[in-house]
Amino acid sequence: MADKQNWQPLGRDELAMRVAQDIPEGWSVNLGIGIPTLVANYVPPQREVIFHSENGILGMGPAPTPETLNPWLVNASRQHVTLRAGASLMNHADSFALVRGGHLDLCVLGAFQVAENGDIANWARSDDETAPAIGGAMDLAAGARRIWAVMEHVTRSGEKRLLRRCTYPLTAKGCTSRVYTDLAVIDVTPRGFVVIDTVPGLSFEELQQRTDAPLSRE
Amino acid sequence: MIDKFVRSVAEAIAGIKDGSTVLIAGFAQVGEPRALIDGLIETGACDLTVVHNTAGRGREGVARLIGEGRVRKIVCSFARSRGSVLFEEVYARGGIELEILPQGTMAERMRAAAAGVPAFYTPTAAGTKLAEGKETRVINGRECILEYALPGDVALVEAWRADRWGNLVYRDAGRNFNPVMAAAAQLTIVQTQQVADLGELPPETIVTPGIYVDRVVHIECGDPPVKIE
């Protein structure tokens, strides 16, 4: 009989919810495309977190209803958004000056790979990609005060994604401070990956089997 | 009397030479000067270098300009993306040169041009493939790359309101690249949804001072399309 798996990976929304738990009131935060965008849905409205979008919005609110939809308000993922009380608008150069200048407390980015030295790769799965869609990922990765990567722990075919060194083209070097996967929360520290939290029932050894770089316990 | 208004798109867009660098504003079709892009296509100008956030989506606007073979080089942050079919066709047959830039670096290169700063060092993209061939220097312990100012011969801009001096305000996320492109070009051409009398726009709300603007045409094109992605 095959080993019975006693644990369940987090779904996309559960993972977004887990990230949202750790964002305190008062932070200014940019959410990347994909699962990171879902994080906003799980920050309770009474907790004042200021969401930034690269196209010049600070203070995004929830998605609009059909009645409140404003065609002039989109975020960097091309989704319609609302403004909350206190929001401000700026041009693209100012929006990225804010990013590059280190004024964002946090950027949550999706990732293909993260290395134990904090390198992140999230725009190409091969060196042969000649016409990529990079957008603002490199600016955010280099500029925000903290980078949290959100990803599935291994690929669908089981390839490891938390590595000693990234094999895909980098988005930025050494910037990632924490990784949220569907299996665990892992800090990136000077001594490498440190496990903070795992899904219930998953052992440290099972997590290590699915991770290329060595893990250590908190 | 200073009056930058012209009566037609043809008049607004006149005189764009082959080989020009054209900055085209807009983000996700919001604040995108679609009438001016169509006008540019009508003029037949070719061999253009176009600076725009994407390499075009669908079959209209920047995508059509590329599809009709007018663009020698596209400078953008999103090349291959959902709906970039015309770019991909032309790129696959080697019909267009591509310069990929991080979005913030692209914006800052234009701001530098507008501000008379010939080049600057930035940590963005340091140590990545996009840094290849660029001058690198460690500043305050951090690896940075040298990026040059990116001026335009022409900027195409969409405003929400404009007065006859060319003072501009924008609507919501329609601001995006518009102010930085307006300031970074030799010839700045604006389409505006609404016209304000001189003195009607409160000075503290003007985002683009008229000094940057050369021509304005009144085009009521309505709301951007609602996205159902």
How much is the mean pLDDT over chain B?
97
Band of pLDDT at residue B130, cut at 50, 70 and 90 = very high
Q: Each residue of B151-177: pLDDT tens digit? A: 999 999 999 999 999 999 999 999 999
Q: Report the predicted TM-score, pTM, of the whole model to 2 decimal places.
A: 0.96
Structure tokens given for A156: 């669908």
* Residue A5: per-residue pLDDT: 81
Question: Quick check: A210 and A21 in contact, CB under 8 A?
Answer: no
**B157 is a domain residue:** yes
Would you list which residues of chain A are within 8 Å, Cβ to Cβ, of chain B? 53-57, 69-75, 78-80, 83, 89-93, 95-97, 99-100, 127, 130-139, 142-143, 169-173
* Residue B82: per-residue pLDDT: 83
Report residues of chain A scoring pLDDT below 50. Answer: 1
ipTM score over 0.90, yes or no: yes
A138 contacts B128? CB cut-off 8 A: yes
For chain B, positions 99-118, list CB contacts with chain A under 8 A: 100-105, 107-108, 110-111
Domain count, chain A: 1
Q: At what angle do helices A92-100 and B103-115 cross, to 10 degrees?
A: 110
- The residues, ordered by sequence, that sit 6+ positions from A205 with a Cβ below 8 Å of its Cβ are none
Picking from A93, A131, A133, the nearest residue to B110 by CB comes out as A93
* Residue A1: per-residue pLDDT: 45
**B228 is a domain residue:** no
Q: Each residue of B205-220: pLDDT tens digit? A: 999 999 999 999 999 9
**B137 is a domain residue:** no
Picking from B77, B111, B224, the nearest residue to A134 by CB comes out as B77
Q: What are residue B143's DSSP bridge partners?
A: B138
Domain count, chain B: 1
* Residue A209: per-residue pLDDT: 97
Whether B229 shows a pLDDT value over 70: the answer reads: no
**B84 is a domain residue:** yes
- Strand blocks (E) in A65-146: 82-89, 106-110, 113-115, 120-121
CATH of the domain at A137: 3.40.1080.10
- Cα dihedral sign for A114, A117, A120, A126? negative
Catalytic residues of A: 54
- The residues, ordered by sequence, that sit 6+ positions from B82 with a Cβ below 8 Å of its Cβ are B57
Q: Is B85 on the interface with A (CB under 8 A)?
A: no
B98 contacts A131? CB cut-off 8 A: yes
Q: Is B56 on the interface with A (CB under 8 A)?
A: no
**B133 is a domain residue:** no
Residue type, A212: D
State percent of chain B over pLDDT 70: 99
CATH of the domain at B45: 3.40.1080.10
**A59 is a domain residue:** yes
Determine the structural domain holding residue A105 and report its residue range.
12-217
**B144 is a domain residue:** no
**B209 is a domain residue:** yes
Listed in sequence order, the DSSP H helices in chain B are 9-13, 34-43, 62-67, 85-92, 103-115, 178-183
**A7 is a domain residue:** no
Determine the structural domain holding residue B165 and report its residue range.
5-118+150-218
Structure tokens given for B62: 């920047």
Interface test with A, best of B24, B169, B176 (most A CBs within 10 A): B176
* Residue B228: per-residue pLDDT: 66
Q: How much is the average pLDDT of B36-60?
A: 97
